Amino acid sequence: MDFNKNYFEIFGLPVDYAVDLELLGDRFLDLQKQVHPDRFAAGTDHEKRLAMQWATLVNTANETLRSSLPRAIYVLGLRGVELEDNPTLPPALLMDQIELREQLESIEDGEGGLKELDAFRQRMQKTIKQVQAEFKEALDEDTEKAARLVYELQFISKLMDSANRLEEKLLDY
């Protein structure tokens, strides 16, 4: 067993930020059908252990490649770029994020409620798409810029978490 394969290689996919999700999903399921512990419920202890290790690896690889943010971080990592916990960021980016936070807070206090929240989330989805496209381009040319874009995506992802929590609050549960 080769645990040193990267996540793309596990699924036989090209190492690339752009991923064919259909194909990933198909291969994920085909692999699980071979390696899942349920397939070895009557097997030896060693088989069970192996199956558990494989299934865990396949699950982790799938989760990483399936969503764009973890995939972006992973692709950067393959190019030797490790993200920092507390990166120094351009002030403009931070200002933008503070501004967006304030927008979210005003939705919470305002009258527009769910409708405004939906509009906010749609705007954010658009921004995410833009940043992702920039990231894809920067990846081959300027990994430093690519890393900065990932930090931005992390901010937006946390913002979306807050937006989702606000929705639950507005829906009163």
Partner 1 sequence: MALLQITEPGQALDPHQRKRAAGIDLGTTNSLIASVRAGVAETLADEQGKHMLPSVVRYTSGGIVVGDEALTEAVNDPLNTIVSVKRLMGRGINDVATLGDQLPYRFSATESGMPRIETISGFVTPVEASAEILRYLADRAGATLAGDLDGVVIAVPAYFDDAQRQATKDAAQLAGVNVLRLLNEPTAAAIAYGLDSGSEGVIAIYDLGGGTFDISLLRLRKGVFEVLATGGDSALGGDDFDRTIAAWIVEQSGYMKPLASEQLLGLMIASRSIKESLTDSARVDIDFDRNGVQFKGVLDRATFDDLVAPLIDASIKACLRAVRDARVEISEIHNVVLVGGSTRVPQVIDKVAEYFGKAPLNNVDPDKVVAIGAAVQANVLVGNKPDDEMLLLDVLPLSLGLETAGGLAEKVISRNTAIPTERTQEFTTYKDGQTAMLIHVLQGERELVTDCRSLARFELTGIPPMVAGAAKIEVMFNVDADGLLSVSARETSTGTQASVEVKPSYGLTDEEITSMLQASFEHATKDANQRSLMEARVESGRVIEALGNALAEDGAALLMESDIQTLQQAIEELGRVSAGEDHLAISEGTELLGRASEEFASLRMDAAVRKVLAGRNIAEVDKDI
Which residues of the shown chain bind partner 1 in the complex (CB under 8 A)?
A: 1-2, 11-14, 16-23, 25-27, 29-39, 41-47, 50-52, 54-56, 59-60, 62-63, 68, 132-133, 136, 171, 173
Whether residue 78 contacts residue 10, with contact meaning beta carbons closer than 8 Å, is answered with no
Would you say 4 or 173 has its CB closer to partner 1? 173
Whether residue 81 contacts residue 143, with contact meaning beta carbons closer than 8 Å, is answered with yes
Minimal distance, residue 52 CB to partner 1, in Å? 6
Whether residue 104 contacts residue 166, with contact meaning beta carbons closer than 8 Å, is answered with yes
Would you say 100 or 139 has its CB closer to partner 1? 139
Using DSSP's 3-state secondary structure scheme, residue 92 falls into helix
Minimal distance, residue 43 CB to partner 1, in Å? 5
Whether residue 17 contacts residue 73, with contact meaning beta carbons closer than 8 Å, is answered with no
Would you say 99 or 172 has its CB closer to partner 1? 172
Minimal distance, residue 95 CB to partner 1, in Å? 27
Minimal distance, residue 144 CB to partner 1, in Å? 20
Would you say 50 or 81 has its CB closer to partner 1? 50
Minimal distance, residue 31 CB to partner 1, in Å? 5
Whether residue 57 contacts residue 10, with contact meaning beta carbons closer than 8 Å, is answered with yes
**Distant-in-sequence, close-in-space partners of 6: CB < 8 Å, separation ≥ 6:** 15, 78
Would you say 10 or 107 has its CB closer to partner 1? 10
At CB < 8 A and 24+ separation, what contacts does 84-87 make? 87/147, 87/148, 87/151
